[in-house]
């Protein structure tokens, strides 16, 4: 498999997570040509624990197999470096093993022969010469490509089991030895993959199309892109030979030093739910949305503020319903008044059953008013029929506040402006502006819901104290703050005994 991408896209993170996932299934050898072991241990603490119990990984840290020259007696030079000693011990074990199966080395020997003859490679001064350590002389063992030699040795020692070899990166080896990347890959492919039951992952340091793509059974590209100043990460499966690719593109994050992909956003409100547990308000001047992660990121809903929730046109309706119902349930559970002109038509029998499970019945009749312009009395105490002809008359503070005389403040008005424009016309914001001003002066909250194509959207975006956006990217609902500015967060829903809990996972 080939994993490729520009710097910082998460190639090393993916490679090491593959090691972690497969460590119990097959031995592995991870070769890093760019990052030191200590840097890897700091980022991936589990790797250090694995290396303590895995002599192969411990030995492979060295990347250069060194030993004493024949004329130096064992007593005259004892390597002090623990990594070097581990590598030497491993070589002794391999030398004494009586394994019948062997890996094919014909291509490696051919490559090393060309290096020796000067046909390939750039022999830097001292690269294969002597090195002085603590006054003792240490010479290379005599191999020209020590990293690859160790990979072959480890693969051979594990036969007939398969070994996983990860080379991070091929470009680093290519630069080190002055050998083209495709030559290194061809060598390993023919010897280890085709003839020696070895799985190999090659990491490439560029994300564009290359001739090397044709050599891999699988090709995965990691991309980091900019979207209105925010980072968006994509994992793209370009090739997976012999396998059906049902989803070829994933959003992912590197939060907490791990690669986590975001799935298509789906949520279903369960048939049976327990009572909603109120969420504490973030502060004296702020009111909770009922969604803890929303409160943590945007600080809650400001008293006396206009809040804009911008929904992308392709957001699943169930996502909007779950967020709305959570906000409504939290206000009702605190005996606060809710005036609601929904963004979409509501199924009143279903809503009645849901809110009766979530909050006490008396709070629904006293604290909730859904404004209905159909002209038909639905027969539910929380539904108030309004004329639907003149927004200035329908949205009057004195009449609407009277409906909620049994509720506590601060009230919240949830207005779906796309639906209101369909009923009252595109200038509905102008006719509801006076009501919004009174709500704000009284310390209440107006929560406007709109899409970008709404005629009221520019005015709402300009006058809002708080503006958040939910949009669908590749089927995943992403959340971000416009005012205040925040990065992207993936929206996930955790199944609970009540409403599904909204979780925000940062796109890092």
Q: Sketch the domain layout of the chain as residue ranges.
A: 2-260, 286-506
- Left (φ > 0), alpha (ψ -120 to 50) or beta: where does 30 sit? beta
DSSP labels for 345-369?
---HHHHHHHHHHHS-HHHHHHHEE
Q: Which of 116-130, 155-169, 357-371 has the lowest mean pLDDT?
A: 116-130
In the Cβ-directed half-sphere of 260, how many Cα atoms lie within 13 Å?
16
DSSP labels for 239-254?
EETTS--S--EEEEE-
**Nearest-angstrom CA–CA distance, 360 and 179:** 74
Average pLDDT, the chain: 85
Mean pLDDT of 346-363: 93
- Which pLDDT value is given to residue 32? 81
- Which pLDDT value is given to residue 70? 42
Non-local (6+) Cβ contacts of 116 within 8 A are: 144
Contact 31, 25 (CB under 8 A): no
**Nearest-angstrom CA–CA distance, 322 and 68:** 69
2-260 topology per CATH: Rossmann fold (3.40.50)
- Which pLDDT value is given to residue 476? 95
Q: β-strand 2-5 against 218-227: which pairing, if any?
A: parallel
Higher pLDDT, 209 or 135: 209
- Which pLDDT value is given to residue 145? 79
Does residue 453 register a pLDDT over 90? yes
Q: What are phi and psi of 107, to 5 degrees?
A: -70, -40
Higher pLDDT, 37 or 169: 169
pLDDT band at 54 (very low <50, low <70, confident <90, very high): low
Contact 203, 167 (CB under 8 A): yes
Higher pLDDT, 260 or 96: 260
Does residue 400 register a pLDDT over 90? yes
Q: Which of 1-5, 44-48, 98-102, 248-252 has the lowest mean pLDDT?
A: 98-102
pLDDT band at 116 (very low <50, low <70, confident <90, very high): confident
Identical fold between 2-260 and 286-506: yes
Classify the C-alpha dihedral 310-311-317-318 as positive or negative: negative
Q: Which of 18-22, 224-228, 349-353, 423-427 has the lowest mean pLDDT?
A: 18-22
The CA dihedral of 341, 343, 349, 350, to the nearest 10 degrees, is -130
- Report the percentage of the chain scoring pLDDT > 90: 56
pLDDT band at 127 (very low <50, low <70, confident <90, very high): very low
**Nearest-angstrom CA–CA distance, 323 and 311:** 11
Mean pLDDT of 203-209: 88
Mean pLDDT of 15-37: 82
Strand, helix or coil for residue 63: coil
| Residue-wise pLDDT tens digits, 217-249 | 999 999 999 999 999 999 999 999 989 998 999
- Which pLDDT value is given to residue 136? 37
CATH number of the domain at 286-506, out of 3.90.650.10, 3.90.79.10, 3.50.50.60, 3.40.50.300? 3.40.50.300
- Which pLDDT value is given to residue 63? 39
**What is the token pair recorded at 368?**
């909730």
**Nearest-angstrom CA–CA distance, 35 and 481:** 35
Mean pLDDT of 29-37: 77
Closest CA relative to residue 448, chosen from 487, 427, 479, 418:
418
- Which pLDDT value is given to residue 83? 53
- Which pLDDT value is given to residue 74? 41
Higher pLDDT, 210 or 354: 354
| Residue-wise pLDDT tens digits, 289-311 | 999 999 999 999 999 999 999 99
- Report the percentage of the chain scoring pLDDT > 70: 84
**Nearest-angstrom CA–CA distance, 443 and 455:** 27
| Residue-wise pLDDT tens digits, 471-506 | 999 999 999 999 999 999 999 999 999 899 999 999
**Nearest-angstrom CA–CA distance, 153 and 465:** 65
- Which pLDDT value is given to residue 423? 97
293, with CB counted inside 10 A (0-12, 13-18, 19+), is middle
Angle between helix axes 11-22 and 45-53 (nearest 10 degrees) is 40
Closest CA relative to residue 467, chosen from 340, 299, 343:
299
Classify the C-alpha dihedral 414-418-422-427 as positive or negative: positive
pLDDT band at 59 (very low <50, low <70, confident <90, very high): very low
Angle between helix axes 106-116 and 146-158 (nearest 10 degrees) is 160
Does residue 56 register a pLDDT over 70? no
β-pair partners for 493 = 502
| Residue-wise pLDDT tens digits, 61-112 | 443 343 333 444 444 444 445 555 555 565 555 555 554 578 888 888 888 8
| Residue-wise pLDDT tens digits, 138-154 | 333 345 678 888 888 88
């Amino acid at each position: 498999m080939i994993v490729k991408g520009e710097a910082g896209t998460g190639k090393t993170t993916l490679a090491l997570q593959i090691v972690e996932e497969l460590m119990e299934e097959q031995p592995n050898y991870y070769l890093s040509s760019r990052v030191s072991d200590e840097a890897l241990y700091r980022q991936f603490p589990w790797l250090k624990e694995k290396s303590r119990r895995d002599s192969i990984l411990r030995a492979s840290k060295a990347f250069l197999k060194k030993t004493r020259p024949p004329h130096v007696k064992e007593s005259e030079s004892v390597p002090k470096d623990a990594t070097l000693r581990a590598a030497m011990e491993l070589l002794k074990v391999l030398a004494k093993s009586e394994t019948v199966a062997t890996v094919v080395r014909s291509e490696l020997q051919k490559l090393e022969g060309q290096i020796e003859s000067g046909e390939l490679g750039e022999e830097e001064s001292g690269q294969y010469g002597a090195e002085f350590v603590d006054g003792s002389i240490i010479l290379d063992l005599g191999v020209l490509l020590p990293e690859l030699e160790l990979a072959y040795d480890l693969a051979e020692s594990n036969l007939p089991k398969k070994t996983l070899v990860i080379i991070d990166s091929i470009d680093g080896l290519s630069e080190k030895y002055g050998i083209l990347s495709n030559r290194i890959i061809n060598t390993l492919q023919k010897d280890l993959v085709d003839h020696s039951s070895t799985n190999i992952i090659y990491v490439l340091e560029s994300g564009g199309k290359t001739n090397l793509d044709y050599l891999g059974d699988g090709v995965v590209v990691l991309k980091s892109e900019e979207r209105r100043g925010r980072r968006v990460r994509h994992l793209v499966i370009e090739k997976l030979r012999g396998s059906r690719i049902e989803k070829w593109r994933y959003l992912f994050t590197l939060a907490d030093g791990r690669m986590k992909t975001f799935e298509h956003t789906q949520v279903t409100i369960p048939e049976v739910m327990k009572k909603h547990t109120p969420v504490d308000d973030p502060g004296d001047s702020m009111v909770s949305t009922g969604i803890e992660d929303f409160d943590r990121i945007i600080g809650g809903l400001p008293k006396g503020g206009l809040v804009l929730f911008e929904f992308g046109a392709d957001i699943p309706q169930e996502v909007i319903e779950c967020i709305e119902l959570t906000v409504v349930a939290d206000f009702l559970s605190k005996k606060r008044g809710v005036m609601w002109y929904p963004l979409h038509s509501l199924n009143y029998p279903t809503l009645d059953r849901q809110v009766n499970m979530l909050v006490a019945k008396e709070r629904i009749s006293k604290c909730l008013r859904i404004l209905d312009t159909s002209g038909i009395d639905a027969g539910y105490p929380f539904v108030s029929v309004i004329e639907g002809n003149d927004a200035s008359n329908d949205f009057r503070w004195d009449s609407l506040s009277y409906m909620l005389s049994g509720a506590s403040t601060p009230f919240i008005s949830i207005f779906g402006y796309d639906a209101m424009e369909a009923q009252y016309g595109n200038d509905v914001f102008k006719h509801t502006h006076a009501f919004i001003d009174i709500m704000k002066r009284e310390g209440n909250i107006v929560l406007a819901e709109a899409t970008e194509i709404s005629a009221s959207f520019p005015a709402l975006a300009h006058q809002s104290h708080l503006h958040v956006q939910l949009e669908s990217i590749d089927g995943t609902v992403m959340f971000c703050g416009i005012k205040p500015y925040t990065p992207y967060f993936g929206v996930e829903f955790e199944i609970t005994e009540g409403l599904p809990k909204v979780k925000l996972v940062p796109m890092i």
